[in-house]
């Protein structure tokens, strides 16, 4: 989970100022958490304290109303109507990493990913993107190899992961869909050598950088283990007290406890 938040923060300054290189300052001045982090922490809070996730999202929205949410989510969060709005957007995948850490069977991970996602993103592509991301986190956390993770995601979800980043990068542009974000983010993880490298590769695609890096970061965290200390310190220094508290509680309960 912390890896997803780190990816969001690192990628935040490149969302509307894209880069096509992996050689950039990891924490560029002005980087900050966005809606990716806020809604990820809202989900962690809901899992930790058995809260209704829809209510949790709305609560966090009003705590952080200017975090960069999409238009449809803005309308949903401000409305008394809490019905889903059939979204296939990559917001489904950006917030789902806690599920991959919190549940102990792939069946439970897939069921919970669908349940939490369908509160807003009930389009089949939104659910598929969230399930694929959560499954990749789970498989990475359970010791799956890159090859095993790749094969599972391709066979279960039908994503084509055959194209390399060098093939994707030249023509890749900003894309808010799950189908145009999740396979690319997973590929960034698959080609990485460590956590830092994974985030750099995701950002270097030049698209929706904070969300790409958030998705990649969650999987990379599960695969590589604890983040480098300098990244962990910087992330917590950027989060406010509320976000830090819930993140630390979730990490203690589900991430660090399961790594012992």
Which CATH number do you get for residue 175?
1.10.4080.10
Tell me: pLDDT of 217 over 50. Answer: yes
pLDDT at 257: 59
53 part of a folded domain? yes
51 domain residue, yes or no: yes
Do the beta carbons of residue 172 and residue 203 sit within 8 Å?
no
CA distances from 140 to 22, 51, 134, 151, 220 (A): 23, 27, 10, 13, 8
Measured in whole angstroms, the distance separating CA 114 from the mean position of its chain's CA atoms is: 15
Mean pLDDT of 97-106: 98
Q: Considering the domain boundaries, does residue 230 fall inside one? A: yes
Number of domains in the chain: 1
Q: Which residues pair with 89 in a beta bridge?
A: 177
pLDDT at 260: 40
Q: Is the pLDDT of residue 160 over 90?
A: yes
Kindly state whether residue 250 falls inside one of the protein's structural domains.
yes
Q: Is 203 exposed, middle or buried (0-12, 13-18, 19+ CB in 10 A)?
A: buried
- Can you tell me the distance from the alpha carbon of 190 to that of 186, in angstroms, rounded to the nearest whole number? 6
User: Is position 152 within any domain?
Assistant: yes
User: Cα separation of 93 and 138, whole Å?
Assistant: 14
- What residues have CB less than 8 Å from 155, skipping those under 6 apart? none
CA distance 204 to 213: 9
User: pLDDT tier at 207 (50, 70, 90 boundaries)?
Assistant: confident
- Look at residue 171 in the predicted model and tell me its pLDDT: 95
Interval 63-86: pLDDT, tens: 999 999 999 999 999 999 999 999
**Among residues 21, 44, 70, 24, which one has the least CA distance to residue 239?**
44
Question: Measured on CA atoms in the order 156, 157, 158, 161, is the torsion positive or negative?
Answer: negative
Nearest to 18 by CA among 210, 225, 222, 236: 210
The pLDDT score that the predictor gives to residue 258 is: 61
Asked if the model's pLDDT at residue 104 lies above 90, the reply is yes
Which domain, by its residues, includes 132? 2-20+31-259
- Classify residue 112: in a domain, yes or no: yes
pLDDT band at 15 (very low <50, low <70, confident <90, very high): confident
- β-partners of residue 177 are 89
Q: Is residue 26 part of a domain?
A: no
């Amino acid at each position: 989970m912390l890896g997803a938040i780190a990816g969001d923060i690192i990628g935040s300054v490149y969302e509307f100022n894209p880069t096509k290189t992996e050689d950039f300052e990891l924490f560029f001045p002005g980087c900050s958490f966005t809606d990716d982090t806020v809604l990820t922490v809202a989900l962690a809070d809901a899992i930790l304290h058995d809260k209704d996730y829809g209510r949790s999202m709305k609560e966090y929205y009003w705590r952080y109303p200017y975090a960069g949410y999409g238009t449809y989510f803005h309308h949903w969060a401000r409305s008394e109507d809490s019905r889903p709005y059939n979204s296939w957007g990559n917001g489904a995948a950006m917030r789902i990493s806690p599920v991959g850490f919190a549940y102990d069977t792939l069946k439970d991970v897939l069921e919970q990913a669908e349940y939490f996602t369908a509160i807003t993103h009930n389009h089949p592509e939104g659910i598929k993107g969230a399930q694929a991301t959560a499954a990749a986190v789970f498989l990475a956390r359970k010791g799956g190899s890159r090859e095993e993770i790749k094969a599972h995601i391709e066979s279960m979800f039908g994503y084509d992961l055959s194209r390399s980043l060098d093939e994707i990068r030249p023509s890749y542009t900003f894309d808010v869909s799950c189908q145009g974000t999740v396979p690319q983010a997973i590929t960034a993880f698959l080609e990485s050598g460590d956590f830092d490298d994974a985030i750099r590769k995701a950002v270097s695609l030049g698209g929706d950088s904070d969300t790409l890096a958030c998705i990649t970061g969650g999987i990379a965290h599960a695969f590589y283990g604890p983040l480098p200390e300098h990244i962990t310190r910087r992330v917590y220094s950027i989060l406010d007290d509320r976000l830090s508290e819930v993140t630390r509680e979730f990490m203690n309960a589900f991430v660090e406890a399961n790594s012992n």
